[in-house]
A and B are shown apart, each in its own frame.
Chain A
Amino acid sequence: MSRLHCPFCGPRELREFRFHKTLPTEPGTAFAGIYERIDNPELSVEHWQHVEGCRGWLRVTRNPSSGAVLETRLLGGGVA
């Protein structure tokens, strides 16, 4: 895995992005959202930011065992 496809900027090198956190598969309480993870080695839903690009926040769905990126979505929209 050396690239992410930013929906705004296109395929860009991984070094431009910063991983933030994985999302719990079943969002529950604030505590669960922050601390608890149900591990799935085939599927990880994550928040990343294109910090050295458009600064968009992305919801990235990946397979952490193969490195394959399954889906990248731009969050929010970032426009007032």
Chain B
Amino acid sequence: MSTIVRRGTRVQEGQIRFHYDGREYFGQPGDTAASALLAQGVRHFGRSVKYRRLRGVMAAGSEEPNALLTVGTRPAVIPNVPAPRLTLHEGLVLRSQNRWPTLSVDLASLLQIGGGFFGAGFYYKTFMWPNWRTYEPIIRRLAGLGEAPGACELPPVAVENCSCDVLVAGAGAAGLAAARAAARAGATVVLCEREPVCGGELEFEGGTIEGRESLNWVAATLTELAGLGARVLTDTDLVGGSDGQVVLHRQRGGIAGADTLYRVRPRSVVIATGAVERPIAFIDNDRPGVMLLGAAECYLARYGVRVGREAVLFANHDRVYAAAARLAAGGMQVRAIVDTRSASTGVGNSLRAELERTGTQCLSGHAVIAVEGGREVRAVRVAPLAGSGPERRIVCNVLLQSGGWSPNTQSGAQDGGAREYSPGLAAFVAAEQPLWRAFAGTANGRLELCDVLADGQIAGEHAARQAGCATGAGAGAVTAIDARGDGAPRLVAFWRSPSPPQLEKKQFIDLQNDVTVADLRTALAEGFSDIEHVKRYTTLGIGTEQGATSAVLGAAILAELKGVPPGAVGISRPRAPFAPVTMQSLAGLRVGSAFRISRRTPLHAWHAAHGGVLESSGLWLRPRYYLANGPDAFTAGIAEARRVRATGGIVDGSTLGKIEVAGPDAAVFLDSMYLSKASTIKAGRGKYMVNLREDGMVLDDGLVLRLAPDRFVATTSSGHADHMLSHFEHYRDTQWNGRAVTLTDVTEAWAVIAVAGPQSRATLQRVLGSAWHEILTRLEHMGFADGHFQGRDLRVLRASFSGELAFELHCRPGIAVTLWQTLNDAGLGPYGLEALDILRVEKGYLVSSELNGETTPHDLLMDGLVKLGNPCLGRELLDRPGLHKPARPRLVGVRARDGRSKFLAGAQLCTENERTHPVGYVTSAVFSPTLDQWIGLALLARRLGEDTQLLARDPLRGGDTPLRIVPAVHFDPTGERMKQ
């Protein structure tokens, strides 16, 4: 347990207890897992995935490639959490990854012996005998980073929609300047920052801005922004979006938990997301103790953690000297500074002299070529880059390196944005951008504090103007922000130290995926020279940190190996999301029971309360059967169907689509949409109508009711209601150019109760009252009448989907339950979809099983409707010869030849002598209680005669059933029953 209280910008006094790999540790409030463990001398945070090499912490942010931990206890673990981003809280349980049985003794690390064997793409060249499947299970277990979660216990994400004039991503110096400039210009501003606190590098760099200490300036700017109404979101990444919509993801504490997903609609966007410090490749540069220089500064300033006692610094720019001074002031012993540049000049030199006085060895024109120490850094080997000076060995326990900075430009490649190589910066910077998006500060390649602030301010003002906000009289004439910070870095590109070829396999580029310089050489030797090919072949830059530290380094080393400038190699294209986003957050509110809406009919509660077994039918929930009628769908369905034919029953048909078609041209419009004419329907009558898709296939069928000369209701099948409305609207607005037809979806304005059975009329006459008595007697098939029930609208339509005498009651939803209950009390029991299906198959009526988008009206025995010659939509293409060939299907009825065997929908139909080439299939099959046998509808090649002996072949569920062909109407072919 640590006894010294550390001080830093982010830690407070206090003690937090947590566990790492089974041991107890302590941290302070504000610590991350990385800072607390480093403070207690922990160097090992996991093993690499391919070579199982021990790894430590390299970075201080989400760019960390190595120190990924599994958090929590099984089964709801969260894997691959970067330790430097994980804020500690009491009782946290952490585990290192890719090791078995323990981190220090790992069986698979024996694989290191075969290091060269497992180079880039090795798996493409072996594991072929006898087949890949033999090896795959082992390979899969070895790959894959963290533990697989067995459960997820995250609360649902919060989703927030908002808009603003200017969105600024990144709250470092540039972002703050940009946000302030925009807010001062009157723009509404949202400022998002990945870290839990604002300030970026100002947090440790020191310096002054506008006469204040940097950190005070940050605080003052945030206060001013708050006063101007700007919104600041910390712990928040910009993850995606394009013109008009940007998606932000807030994840507090660096781990999935109480996440928020913001959809922001900004008018303009400033990207000020800074840059990532780059490592340099040298031998064994992956050893625990090799870290980024900026990371060491972060740990010191934020958490008061010295990442090592004795440090060697390795860099290619002037900033290293100021950093060394700050680290020394923080109590670290800087043994040496290894500068790859041959002569350092300017500000570096005065600092350098001072550093040398206090015992720091400063070597110019040198490079660290290797690290010594098997399990962590014990010393580094340094050699001169030119000439043949002596190689030195410098003892240290941490090597801090800085190879320059790669601007974070991932979010600048979409919507026509481009990136280009900047030789001065030795990195890729944003190039041409759309008007609404600008890069600023370090993200825009500026490195000196004055430039960064000025760039931010200009970008902020530009963004405000772009958003239509006045920027005052001073528009265009930017007041420079007075600031003093670290000087120009004077960087000279340096990517990797010299190495004998056989040791290039220890010069790591992508530490997470164990991609080395040797792998790039292999890729080149095998002809993969384009960066996109190299990325795919070697897995360079595809890790959880999205290549933050490896993409530019890899591109540059590839360029070196190819002998071309880095700009000629380019950089592989970044892909959204620009920061990893939790799947639960992407799913948003659509999780669990809210995955998709549930549509409920006005009778839903009644069904649920009366044993209705509700099942999804599309988005609707509908009763399949009622438990009172049997324990399962099969038994209950038969009982319900039998009762309908014997006496009667009621079924909830409210899901039926209903489109009201009105206006002077309504009739002519409908004529053009259906195979038969609507204009011949008399008011007060309905008609069964069929319409076609543009290619001549049957789209839907339904009843069209004429309410008045200029008013119709077209009913559609439940599943087609939405599409049919769009379809109608499309043709009205294109072919018809908006002529006098209005289309209104009235599906949910009317509940529908279908009343079927021999006693339906009599019961209705009893229930509906005397006003309806006479009407019900007179009502002919397909006739309807409008009236009232208990003072509310009621339409009674005589139509049947069961073959029985039947009526559809279209009533207002408010009285549906009363009406239904009254009918139920009067002796008409409810039936569900199962019985509905039995009744309609007995009658050969069609549903989506037959109207499946593959069938023409001829296939479905609607030749008569086609012959009417109505020139409706879809007719023209119906004449194509292929739609009339003998192999086209025709609707038939089928029954078992023995009169009792079972067969099911989905069985394929074959003839006795062609048992493997189906000639059709069973579309629907039910057990008919009326006929006391299995009956079905089928689509069968029309070349076959009615006496063909068929086999229903159903190898999936059983065997073969000999079938015979019968008319598609199994029961009451002349329709006597419904004419009663």
Interface positions of A (Cβ within 8 A of B)? 1-3, 11, 13, 18, 20, 30-31, 34, 47, 49, 51, 55-57, 66-67, 75-80
Contact = CB atoms under 8 A, between A and B. Distances in A.
B177 to A, nearest CB: 28
B343 to A, nearest CB: 48
Contact of A77 (B242, B245, B664, B738): B738
Contact of B416 (A11, A18, A66, A79): A66
Contacts of B662: 80
A75 B241 contact: no
Contacts of B353: none
B730 interface: yes
Nearest to A15: B245
9 contacts: A3-B243, A3-B245, A18-B726, A31-B876, A31-B877, A67-B242, A75-B734, A76-B732, A77-B733
Given A51-B726, A57-B730, A75-B733, A34 B415 contact: no
7 residue pairs, one from A and one from B, having the closest CB atoms: A76-B733, A76-B738, A77-B738, A80-B663, A57-B733, A3-B244, A75-B733
Given A31-B877, A34-B695, A57-B729, A78 B738 contact: yes
A76 B737 contact: yes
Given A76-B736, A80-B662, 8 more contacts: A1-B242, A2-B243, A30-B877, A34-B695, A57-B730, A67-B242, A67-B415, A78-B738
Nearest to A4: B244
Contacts of B740: 80
Contacts of A51: 726
B695 A49 contact: no
B848 interface: no
A5 to B, nearest CB: 10
A2 B726 contact: no
Contacts of A11: 244
Interface string B219-242: 000000000000000000000011
Interface in B53-98: none
Contacts of A30: 694, 876-877
Given A20-B730, A56-B733, A34 B877 contact: yes
A15 to B, nearest CB: 10
Interface of B: 241-245, 415-416, 662-665, 694-695, 726, 729-730, 732-734, 736-738, 740-742, 876-877
Contacts of B741: 80
Given A31-B877, A34-B695, A75-B733, A13 B738 contact: no
B726 A1 contact: no
A54 B110 CA distance: 66
Interface centre among B415, B726, B738 (most CB of A within 10 A): B738
Nearest to B727: A20
A30 B665 CA distance: 24
A32 B877 CA distance: 11
A56 B695 CA distance: 24
A13 B729 contact: no
Nearest to A13: B245
Contacts of A31: 876-877
A51 B610 CA distance: 37
Contacts of A67: 242-243, 415
A38 B964 CA distance: 49
A29 to B, nearest CB: 8
B619 to A, nearest CB: 15
Contacts of A3: 243-245
Nearest to B662: A80
Contact of A80 (B415, B730, B737, B742): B742
A58 B160 CA distance: 29
Nearest to A59: B734
B729 A80 contact: no
B244 A2 contact: yes
Given A34-B694, A77-B738, A79-B738, A2 B241 contact: yes
B663 A2 contact: no
Contacts of B877: 30-31, 34
A70 to B, nearest CB: 14
Contacts of A49: 726, 729-730
A71 to B, nearest CB: 16
Contacts of B664: 80
Given A1-B242, A2-B243, A67-B415, A47 B734 contact: yes
A49 to B, nearest CB: 6
A75 to B, nearest CB: 4
A48 to B, nearest CB: 10
Contacts of B416: 66
Nearest to A35: B695
Contacts of A75: 733-734, 737-738
A57 B734 contact: yes
Contacts of B729: 49, 55, 57, 78
Most buried by B among A3, A56, A67, A76: A76
Nearest to B415: A67
A47 B727 CA distance: 12
A2 B576 CA distance: 14
A77 B738 CA distance: 5
A78 to B, nearest CB: 6
A11 B265 CA distance: 11
A57 B665 CA distance: 19
Given A3-B245, A18-B726, A76 B663 contact: no
Nearest to A77: B738
A30 B692 CA distance: 14
